[in-house]
């Protein structure tokens, strides 16, 4: 049979060709199996444009996510900078992405659009905004997540294509030890629970001399390195260095990558890959300690130095080159991974450079499959310098004994990794030990830094480092042009083909995890969330998206209790304050605030929905803590700035403190009234018996009455005791201030009766009058309430000592008295953890409560007026959560300012969720209404106030976060939803 007449295998007989996607092939067992060839989705026009953009310049990241939670993005036309953030919706508490806020602080050149965004890791987030001609603006988001302040504008920067920036890098902040970072995790399965491990990662400078500041380094296409840094007066200055001499267009740099130790990798137009080492000298005296900011008189004067390390070509050549290798002749990504300890923990592995070349097929080309090629180089220091033989002979004739030349470095090429997808993003995680690849189809891959093998692609419940290992995946896998990970790596933001920004979080698609630690998926989920949350809080990273991932599990009965218990165990959070009477360490315990914040959020169902019992407990504890901090800060100005400001001499501060005092006194009155109600409740008193004591907490939960738990929990009791002492301090302060100003006014009137200079003192005098009126007319006697707390605290301490000592004697520990003390301490911590999580008190508390209700509380009742307490208005506390009260509050649109503790009136319910569009009358009304800030986590509000005087500004700066630890988002005028 001739070749022309031979039938093809996929032809139907000898005539018509069969449709491949309609083939039905019998498998080995005789069942029909459909055979279809799925063709890949052809690259879109927008994807081709994005790949071209990545090839053209190394700096073109159009969306960036800060450690505080602010998300900056560039509009598709490059003319607008937008700000977004994650926020818990005030209607139901569910998380979502806010509407964009346009940032108008920088002037855009129509011919030079914004192309790149980069966040610093500073406490007050700094955003570098870079345009196509290399101009750099720096914005600071110090108060809200969507309204920055310009600290550097680019108006005076030259607009020149040769100054275009191809690589940027913010210096990291120095760790507290200045020697290493702490890496939390993994969680290792150990019997019926997980053991949380941690390791140390060596930290290498340079850092800014001021430990709270960073510096931005940028590499330009003409080979210059620019450093933008903050002088000790906070002015941004610039220092530059020529890295490469550019003599022709072939020498231009297209991509640059920088990392710690200031290793710089450069890719040039002529396919060269160069490695340079840069050093920074800050111009400080040698005796100046690196971990202290320079004194105000000592200005910084940094200089940069460079050393060329190695050079190679990034374009493969030779017999092993593939056809796609030959076609993919342009880089899209360049990344540098610093040297680190190897996976065996023994030796150091060399510096690594990664490049990505993405091939996107075009019509009528022979290769129609999208591919990304990841090339890897190691910087090896094993190449000794060799001398010409003539110089060696010269040295021997002169009997030279000079030392051998130092070895030089070279770039060692490793095997490439080929992936049949288009890489649109390359990120590093876990201190550069994990490489994360984002693809245009919306998928994500994690690869080991040492081997570039894929990891986290299979479930592993025995050694948990990330939620991916437990079975979590991102909710949305739709195609995108850009993808950026949150600082916690628990969610992503995508830029889609149409330019829209979309948020996607991790979720659990494998069904129910179970309901207790006996269920392996449930326990592993808790472990993964604990590692993520602990890492975030230890590194001062916003963990809102972790809360978003955890929120779907909050309806499980023990989830909140179990999760916070694991966090307390991993971070060793101090929770027992039954022995502490000074409250300083309690108020400064940020890890405890985190636990209360999680408890508060997971118990939150919406602004006008009833909270859970533990959520209500946490909300009140957090607010008491916040009041204590504000009063303490205003009353105890730091010594180094005491000469410059005195907050208590400014009426705005005194007004705010008067509001805090009113809220605190209302809380003490409400607690007293609630305790009196329990005292008069025979059903409750019947539970104070050994047989029924275990039913008490369930009964209190049914009444949504957290008053007793706030007194029994040592940390909450400590906050209450601290606020009592602050109120007494404010009462004394207001009496003294009024006496002082009245005496001063009398003396002034005697010498100068003119009223011209009295204005400021009159306002301050009235503010102190308000404070005195609040503290002196309270229906509760603060000193007696504090005495009640002290008696209860002593009784609880005695109960712990007697019951736990008895328990230890029945179960003696080997190891002497120290082991016994540790055993008692652990048992006491366990009891306090239960109380912190609004669970049942230990049986030993029965005697304490019998004495409290039968003796102490009855004696205290004789000093109070129960009828006044019963009929008092407690709206300021927002604790009444019956449906009718909540509906009334919603209808009246009443809110409480968490800073001034006064009532605010919001937009009417018919327009409360509006976007600001409407009639001219409404616009005029909105223009008069001050804007509000809203907590992105708990939906609390405060007026968007600014201080014109130093004392008020100082106190207000302590309210940069909500009492729950959440950040503020600025609401649009006339709207309650961002």
**For 900-909, what is each residue's pLDDT tens digit?**
999 999 886 5
d(CA 933, CA 856): 43
CB distance 136 to 216 below 8 Å: yes
Q: How confident is the model at residue 291 (pLDDT cuts 50, 70, 90)?
A: low
d(CA 217, CA 120): 11
d(CA 511, CA 236): 53
Q: How far is CA 646 from CA 224, 739, 745, in A?
A: 47, 19, 20
- The CATH number given to 46-287+298-395+405-502 is 2.130.10.10
Give the model's pLDDT for residue 343.
Answer: 82
User: Mean of the pLDDT values across residues 469-496?
Assistant: 95
User: Mean of the pLDDT values across residues 520-524?
Assistant: 96
d(CA 609, CA 546): 23
Q: Is the pLDDT of residue 663 over 80?
A: yes
Q: How confident is the model at residue 391 (pLDDT cuts 50, 70, 90)?
A: very low
Give the model's pLDDT for residue 33.
Answer: 46
CA 333 to chain centre: 27
Percentage of the chain beyond pLDDT 70 is 86
Give the model's pLDDT for residue 10.
Answer: 39
Give the model's pLDDT for residue 113.
Answer: 95
d(CA 456, CA 468): 6
Q: Which residues of 171-180 are buried (b: 16+ CB within 10 A; e: fewer)?
A: bbbbbeeeee
- Mean pLDDT for the chain overall: 87
3-class secondary-structure state, position 798: helix
Per-residue three-class SS string for 575-644: CCCCCCCCCHHHHHCHHHHHHHHHHHHHCCCCCCCCCCHHHHHHHHHHHHHHHHHHHHHHHCCCHHHCCC
**For 574-602, what is each residue's pLDDT tens digit?**
999 988 777 889 999 999 999 999 999 99
DSSP per residue, 105-138? SSPPBTTB-EEEEEE--SSS-EEEEEETT--EEE
**For 216-259, what is each residue's pLDDT tens digit?**
999 999 999 999 999 988 899 999 999 988 888 888 999 999 99
d(CA 617, CA 619): 6
Of 661, 713, 699, the closest CA to residue 835 belongs to: 713
Q: How confident is the model at residue 15 (pLDDT cuts 50, 70, 90)?
A: very low
3-class secondary-structure state, position 281: strand
Give the model's pLDDT for residue 641.
Answer: 75
d(CA 841, CA 825): 16
CB atoms within 10 A of CB 392: 12
d(CA 106, CA 139): 9
d(CA 842, CA 848): 11
d(CA 441, CA 625): 47
Give the model's pLDDT for residue 589.
Answer: 94
676 vs 246, residue with greater confidence:
676
CB distance 397 to 298 below 8 Å: no
* CA 941-943-948 angle, 5° bins: 145
Of 141, 167, 150, 157, the closest CA to residue 109 belongs to: 157
Q: Is the pLDDT of residue 162 over 70?
A: yes
CB distance 361 to 369 below 8 Å: yes
Give the model's pLDDT for residue 327.
Answer: 63
Of 925, 935, 932, 930, the closest CA to residue 964 belongs to: 935
CB distance 349 to 340 below 8 Å: yes
d(CA 613, CA 610): 9
Q: Is the preceding omega at residue 206 within 30 degrees of 0, hence cis?
A: yes
User: Mean of the pLDDT values across residues 506-521?
Assistant: 94
Give the model's pLDDT for residue 823.
Answer: 80
Of 950, 938, 337, 870, the closest CA to residue 643 belongs to: 950
pTM beyond 0.95, yes or no: no
**For 22-31, what is each residue's pLDDT tens digit?**
444 444 444 4
**For 685-729, what is each residue's pLDDT tens digit?**
999 999 999 999 999 999 999 999 999 999 999 999 999 999 999
CB distance 541 to 487 below 8 Å: yes
For residue 798, give every residue at least 6 positions away whose Cβ sits within 8 Å of its Cβ, in sequence order, or none: none
DSSP per residue, 753-793? --STT-HHHHHHHHHHHHHHHHHHS-SS-HHHHHHHHHHHH
**For 58-99, what is each residue's pLDDT tens digit?**
999 999 999 999 999 999 999 999 999 999 999 999 999 999
E runs forming strands in 839-899: 894-896
Of 933, 931, 947, 903, the closest CA to residue 653 belongs to: 947
User: Mean of the pLDDT values across residues 462-481?
Assistant: 94
User: Mean of the pLDDT values across residues 755-769?
Assistant: 75
CB atoms within 10 A of CB 728: 14
Of 777, 751, 750, 749, the closest CA to residue 761 belongs to: 749
Give the model's pLDDT for residue 233.
Answer: 87
**For 859-881, what is each residue's pLDDT tens digit?**
999 999 999 999 999 999 999 98
Write out the two tokens for 497: 């083909």
d(CA 227, CA 219): 9
User: Mean of the pLDDT values across residues 107-136?
Assistant: 94
Percentage of the chain beyond pLDDT 90 is 67
* CA 541-543-544 angle, 5° bins: 135
For CATH 2.130.10.10, list the domain ranges present in the chain.
46-287+298-395+405-502
Q: Which residue carries 């009997």 as its tokens?
A: 399
Largest CA distance in the chain: 130
Give the model's pLDDT for residue 748.
Answer: 72
Stated as kind and residue range, the H or E segment containing 730 is helix 714-751
Q: How confident is the model at residue 780 (pLDDT cuts 50, 70, 90)?
A: very high
**For 425-467, what is each residue's pLDDT tens digit?**
999 999 999 999 999 999 999 999 999 999 998 999 999 999 9
Q: Strand order of the sheet with strand 215-220?
A: 165-170, 215-220, 224-230, 236-242
Q: How confident is the model at residue 820 (pLDDT cuts 50, 70, 90)?
A: confident
Give the model's pLDDT for residue 813.
Answer: 59
């Amino acid at each position: 049979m001739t070749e022309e007449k031979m039938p093809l295998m996929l032809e139907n007989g000898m005539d018509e060709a069969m449709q491949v996607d309609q083939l039905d092939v019998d498998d080995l067992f005789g069942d029909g199996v459909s055979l279809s060839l799925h063709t890949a989705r052809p690259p879109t026009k927008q994807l081709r444009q994005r790949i071209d953009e990545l090839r053209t310049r190394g700096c073109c990241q159009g969306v960036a996510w800060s450690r505080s939670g602010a998300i900056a993005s560039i509009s598709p036309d490059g003319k607008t900078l937008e700000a977004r953030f994650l926020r818990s919706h005030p209607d139901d508490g569910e998380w979502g992405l806010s509407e964009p806020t346009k940032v108008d602080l920088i002037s855009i050149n129509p011919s030079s659009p914004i192309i790149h965004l980069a966040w610093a890791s500073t406490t007050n987030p700094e955003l570098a905004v870079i345009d196509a001609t290399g101009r750099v603006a720096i914005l600071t988001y110090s108060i809200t997540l969507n309204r920055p302040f310009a600290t550097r504008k680019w108006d005076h920067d030259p607009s020149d294509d040769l100054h275009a920036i191809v690589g940027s890098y913010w210096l990291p902040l120095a760790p507290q030890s200045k020697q290493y970072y702490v890496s939390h995790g993994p969680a290792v399965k150990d019997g019926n629970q997980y053991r949380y491990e941690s390791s140390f990662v060596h930290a290498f400078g340079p850092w800014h001399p001021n430990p709270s500041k960073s510096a931005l380094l940028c590499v330009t296409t003409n080979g210059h390195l620019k450093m933008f840094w903050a002088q000790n007066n906070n002015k941004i200055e610039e220092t530059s260095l020529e890295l490469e001499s550019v003599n022709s267009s072939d020498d231009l740099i297209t991509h640059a990558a920088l990392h710690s130790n200031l290793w710089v990798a450069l890719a040039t137009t002529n396919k060269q890959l160069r490695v340079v080492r840069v050093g920074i000298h800050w111009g400080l005296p040698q005796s100046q300690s690196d971990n202290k900011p320079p004194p105000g008189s000592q200005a910084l004067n940094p200089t940069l130095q460079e050393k060329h390390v190695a050079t190679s070509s990034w374009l493969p050549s030779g017999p092993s080159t593939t056809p796609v290798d030959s076609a993919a002749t342009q880089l899209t990504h360049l990344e540098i991974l610093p040297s680190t300890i190897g996976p065996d923990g023994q030796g150091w592995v060399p510096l690594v450079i990664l490049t990505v070349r993405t091939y996107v097929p075009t019509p009528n080309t022979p290769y129609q499959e999208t591919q990304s090629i990841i090339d890897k180089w190691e910087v090896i220091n094993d190449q000794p310098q060799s001398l010409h033989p003539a110089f060696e002979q010269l040295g021997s004739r002169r009997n030279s004994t000079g030392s051998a030349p130092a070895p030089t470095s070279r770039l060692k090429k490793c095997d490439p990794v080929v992936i049949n997808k288009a890489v649109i993003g390359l990120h590093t995680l876990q201190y550069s030990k994990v490489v994360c690849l984002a693809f245009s189809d919306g998928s994500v891959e994690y690869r080991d830094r040492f081997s570039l093998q894929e990891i986290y692609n299979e479930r592993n419940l025995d050694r948990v480092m990330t939620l991916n290992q437990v079975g979590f995946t991102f909710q949305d896998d739709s195609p995108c042009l850009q993808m950026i990970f949150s600082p916690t790596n628990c969610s992503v933001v995508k830029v889609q083909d149409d330019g829209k920004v979309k948020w996607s979080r991790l979720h659990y698609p494998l069904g129910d995890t179970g309901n207790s630690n006996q269920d392996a998926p449930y326990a592993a989920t808790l472990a993964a969330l604990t590692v993520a949350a602990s890492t975030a809080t230890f590194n001062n990273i916003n963990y809102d998206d972790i809360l978003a991932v955890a929120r779907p599990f909050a309806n499980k009965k023990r989830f909140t209790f179990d999760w916070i218990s694991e966090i307390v165990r991993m971070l060793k959070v101090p929770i027992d304050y039954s022995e502490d009477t000074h409250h300083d360490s309690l108020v400064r315990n940020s890890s405890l605030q985190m636990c209360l914040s999680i408890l508060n959020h997971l118990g939150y169902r919406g602004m006008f929905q009833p909270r859970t019992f533990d959520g209500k407990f946490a909300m009140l504890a957090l607010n008491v803590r916040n009041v204590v901090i504000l009063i303490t800060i205003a009353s105890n100005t730091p010594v180094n700035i005491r000469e410059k400001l005195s907050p208590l001499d400014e009426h705005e501060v005194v007004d705010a403190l008067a509001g805090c005092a009113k809220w605190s006194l209302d809380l003490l009155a409400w607690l007293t009234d609630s305790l009196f109600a329990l005292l008069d409740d025979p059903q409750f008193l019947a539970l104070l018996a050994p047989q029924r004591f275990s039913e008490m907490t369930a009964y209190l939960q049914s009444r949504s009455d957290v008053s007793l738990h706030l007194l029994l929990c040592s940390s909450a009791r400590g906050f209450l005791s601290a606020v009592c002492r602050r109120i007494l301090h404010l009462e004394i302060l207001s009496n003294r201030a009024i006496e002082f100003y009245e005496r001063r006014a009398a003396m002034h009137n005697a010498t100068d009766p003119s009223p011209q200079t009295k204005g400021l003192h009159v306002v301050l005098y009235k503010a102190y009058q308000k404070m005195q009126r609040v503290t002196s007319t309270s229906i509760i006697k603060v000193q007696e309430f504090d005495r009640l707390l002290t008696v209860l605290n002593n009784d609880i301490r005695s109960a712990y000592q007697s019951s736990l000592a008895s328990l230890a004697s029945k179960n003696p520990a080997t190891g002497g008295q120290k082991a016994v003390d540790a055993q008692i301490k652990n048992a006491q911590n366990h009891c306090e953890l239960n109380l912190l999580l609004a669970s049942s008190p230990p049986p030993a508390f029965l005697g304490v409560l019998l004495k409290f209700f039968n003796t102490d509380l009855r004696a205290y009742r004789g000093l109070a007026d129960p009828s006044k307490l019963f009929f008092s208005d407690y709206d300021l506390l927002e604790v009444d959560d019956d449906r009718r009260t909540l509906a009334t509050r919603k209808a009246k649109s009443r809110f409480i300012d968490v800073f001034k503790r006064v009532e605010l009136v919001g937009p009417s319910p018919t327009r409360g969720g509006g976007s600001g569009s409407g009639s001219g009358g409404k616009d005029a009304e909105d223009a008069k209404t001050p804007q509000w800030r809203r907590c992105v986590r708990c939906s609390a509000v405060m007026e968007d106030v600014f201080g014109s005087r130093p004392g008020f500004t100082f106190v207000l700066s302590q309210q940069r976060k909500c009492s729950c630890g959440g950040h503020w988002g600025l609401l649009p005028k006339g709207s309650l939803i961002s």
